[in-house]
Amino acid sequence: MQYKKLIAVAGIALAIVAILEIALFRKQARAGSHTDPRMSPAQMVTISGCLNSGQFQPVLNEFTNRTGISVQYEEACDQDQIRACKDNNDCPDIAILQTPGLLTELGEAGQLVDLSTFVNSTVLSANYADTWIDQGKVDGTLYGVWFNAGNKSLIWYDPTEFINHSWTTPTTWAETISLSDQIFNTAGTPPWSIGNESGHASGWPLTDWFEDILLRSAGPEIYDDLVAHDIPWTHSEVIAAMTYFGDIFGNEDYQLGGKSGTLSTSFLDAIYPPFEDPPGAYLHHQGNWAQSVISDQFPTQTPGTDYAVFPFPDINPMYTNAVMGAGDIAIVFSNTADVQSLINFLITTDAAEIWITKGGVSPNRNADTSLYADPNTLALADQLANADIFRFDLTDQLPSELNEYVWSQMDDLVQAAPDPAAMKEVLARIEFMASHPYRIYLPITVSGSDS
């Protein structure tokens, strides 16, 4: 009888353990509150990155509170230091990069730890869309996990003005052109406020337009091929993307001040007209950082009511729900148990939600979106987390000299639009630079290939 009681008690105990393990597994899959059995106090983990320390340190403090593992964070944005850290023997245990190009470079050089050997794949797959996981891979190997994200595929507008005019926000390129006509014909005002002037960096605002158009018209593979220069800048898909570019920039009526207004207006000043009284224009394309500019300029206006966002419209139905933007990705140089624990914490919803409460944006799709401070941030974060296609800013991934040269050619592309032959001549100059990176002098006109 006593033996049977012991058997019964043991069975109950095993059942309780099994239930607890199932509950823990489910919690990990949803919220990622991950307590790895390898977590134990040891040496300090060092981490370096460009994330604001005031926002990021609370995330690390929570990790230390849970595990007893100390973390030293250095807010540093010197990507060249990270590039050379192996040679200099001064790598942090973890680095947080802003450029996926450096991720690719270090991964291909064999300098990074393969995260798939220890990362909690259940938590990662539950919390991140495939496109985000894939963007952390180099040649199929997982070398990075994303923590912070930025959305550049946004159109800013005033919802009240749209209600007053019975306008609806477009979802396709055709609807966008139709809306542009409606605005000009009914309000008598150019629909778009666009500014390309940015000192020595003039041109970058228009590259964002080109990148959003290329991603949605030609798709992510062509986009990636252009980054890698596996296709020329005169490729037929790039030229086709310029046709859509010309729909906006080849039409003087669509741009506040016409082409000259676009080219001479500061990228900051161009943000204001849709929210002035009366509006000088009604639409503006810019990344999520524009919200802080709008709120500073118009402190009495309310986000979501007086200024809001909608996604950059789809072009090719094969490539919908795409986002072009920026982000910060964690990579690993030191494969220790403590480092593994910190990486596994960063992919949890708990870590993401702390980051969100401190003003950050997370691509974690299971994070509580009610924690975002306003409807606009919630909307742009939702686009990021649930994107079917995400790509980093194209020109930011190019060699710096080529990047700056592309910027310098954007004025000429606007002047050439909507003439396909004239725009192709500008693309041919960019292709010449991309193909001759060490050449100082460039001819004014260079013929290019068609494919």
Please tell me whether residues 306 and 328 are part of one structural domain. Answer: no
pLDDT number for residue 78 = 87
- CATH classification at residue 348: 3.40.190.10
Q: Where a domain ends, among 321, 337, 360?
A: 321
pLDDT number for residue 436 = 86
Residue 192 belongs to some domain of the structure: yes
Letter for the amino acid at 4? Answer: K
pLDDT number for residue 268 = 98
Please tell me whether residues 289 and 159 are part of one structural domain. Answer: yes
Question: Model-level pTM?
Answer: 0.86
pLDDT number for residue 213 = 98
Query: What is the CA angle 224-383-244, rounded to 5?
Result: 55
Please tell me whether residues 132 and 237 are part of one structural domain. Answer: no
Please tell me whether residues 340 and 316 are part of one structural domain. Answer: no
Please tell me whether residues 135 and 271 are part of one structural domain. Answer: no
- Output the CA torsion sign for 248, 253, 256, 261: positive
Please tell me whether residues 210 and 340 are part of one structural domain. Answer: no
Closest CA to 98 of 326, 296, 267: 326
Please tell me whether residues 314 and 330 are part of one structural domain. Answer: no
Give the residue ranges of the chain where pLDDT is below 70. 1-42, 438-451
Residue 437 belongs to some domain of the structure: no
Q: Where a domain ends, among 300, 321, 342?
A: 321
pLDDT number for residue 5 = 36
Over its C-alpha atoms, the chain yields an Rg (Å, rounded) of: 25
What's the total number of domains in the chain? 2
Closest CA to 148 of 395, 398, 396, 392: 392
Residue 431 belongs to some domain of the structure: no
pLDDT number for residue 252 = 98
pLDDT tens digit sequence for 240-277: 999 999 999 999 999 999 999 999 999 999 999 999 99
Residues in the chain: 451
Please tell me whether residues 311 and 168 are part of one structural domain. Answer: yes
Return the number of other C-beta atoms located less than 10 Å from residue 111's C-beta.
17
pLDDT number for residue 394 = 96
Residue 394 belongs to some domain of the structure: no
pLDDT number for residue 416 = 98
Please tell me whether residues 176 and 290 are part of one structural domain. Answer: yes
Please tell me whether residues 254 and 291 are part of one structural domain. Answer: yes
pLDDT number for residue 370 = 95
CB 419 within 8 A of CB 436: no
Residue 352 belongs to some domain of the structure: yes
The bridge status of strand 71-75 relative to strand 45-49 is parallel
Residue 450 belongs to some domain of the structure: no
Contacts of 437 (CB under 8 A, 6+ apart): 399, 401, 402
pLDDT number for residue 25 = 37
pLDDT number for residue 439 = 53
Q: What's the rounded Cα separation, in Å, for the pair 407 and 423?
A: 14
pLDDT tens digit sequence for 395-443: 999 988 999 999 999 999 999 999 999 999 999 999 999 998 765 444 4
Please tell me whether residues 233 and 262 are part of one structural domain. Answer: yes
Residue 439 belongs to some domain of the structure: no
Q: Where a domain ends, among 275, 300, 321?
A: 321
Please tell me whether residues 278 and 185 are part of one structural domain. Answer: yes
HEC string for the chain:
CHHHHHHHHHHHHHHHHHHHHHHHHHHHHHCCCCCCCCCCCCCCEEEEECCCHHHHHHHHHHHHHHHCCCEEEEECCCHHHHHHHHHHCCCCCEEEECCHHHHHHHHHCCCCCCHHHCCCHHHHHHHCCHHHHHCCEECCEECEEEEEEEECCEEEECHHHHHHHCCCCCCEHHHHHHHHHHHHHHHCCCCECCCCEECECCCHHHHHHHHHHHHHHCCHHHHHHHHHCCCCCCCHHHHHHHHHHHHHHCCHHHECCHHHHHHHCECCHHHCHHHCCCCCCCEEECCCCHHHHHHHHCCCCCECCCEEEEECCECCHHHCCEEEEEEEEEEECCCCHHHHHHHHHHCCHHHHHHHHHCCCCCCCCCCCHHHCCCHHHHHHHHHHHCCCEEEECCHHHCCHHHHHHHHHHHHHHHHHCCCHHHHHHHHHHHHHHHHCCCCCCCCCCCCCCCC
Structural domain of 137: 30-142+324-387
Residue 233 belongs to some domain of the structure: yes
